[in-house]
Amino acid sequence: MHQRVSAISLNKPRLLACTVAFLAMTACAPEQPDNSVPCGAYSSEKSHVEVVAQGTVTRTFGIRAGRVSPHEGFLMRLNSSCSLIVRVEANTDFTGPIPLRVGTTVAVKGEYEYYAGGGVIHWTHSDPRGRHQGGYILLDNRIYQ
């Protein structure tokens, strides 16, 4: 008795590899920034708001000790009509150092927390414990997460 072998069964390893590669690329693909979300959260004084924002680096703070681990921070002026300046914080244990420069455009995904001076976007990295939605910083077509 002869067993029929289909083209699909011969290519299962390749199909699996392509599927995994596709899922990995789409899972890390940055979302479109929507600066109206952090602008709205700021104007309504809301915190714990997931945002994807884009803006221009106006100041860098370098790497410094954080509550639990080192963080790198910077100020970003949103590219939108509200021109809000927010502080962005990244845990360098996850992202590594980020080559930030004043005047460069960055996109960030994280959690916005309100404060009167403009607010902060943090959780701009993955959460290995899975307690929080992971974020990222996109700079020069490279994702830091």
What pLDDT digit, counting tens, does each position of 12-43 carry? Answer: 554 444 444 433 444 455 789 999 999 999 99
For strand 120-122 and strand 71-78, is the pairing parallel, antiparallel, or unpaired? Answer: unpaired
User: Looking at per-residue confidence, does 141 or 4 come out higher?
Assistant: 141
CA 66 to chain centre: 19
- In sequence order, the 6+-apart residues with CB closer than 8 A to the CB of 59 are 74, 75, 102
**CATH number for the domain formed by residue range(s) 31-144:** 2.40.50.140
Q: For the chain, what are the domain ranges?
A: 31-144
CB distance 124 to 90 below 8 Å: yes
CA 124 to chain centre: 5
Counted residue by residue, the chain has a size of: 145
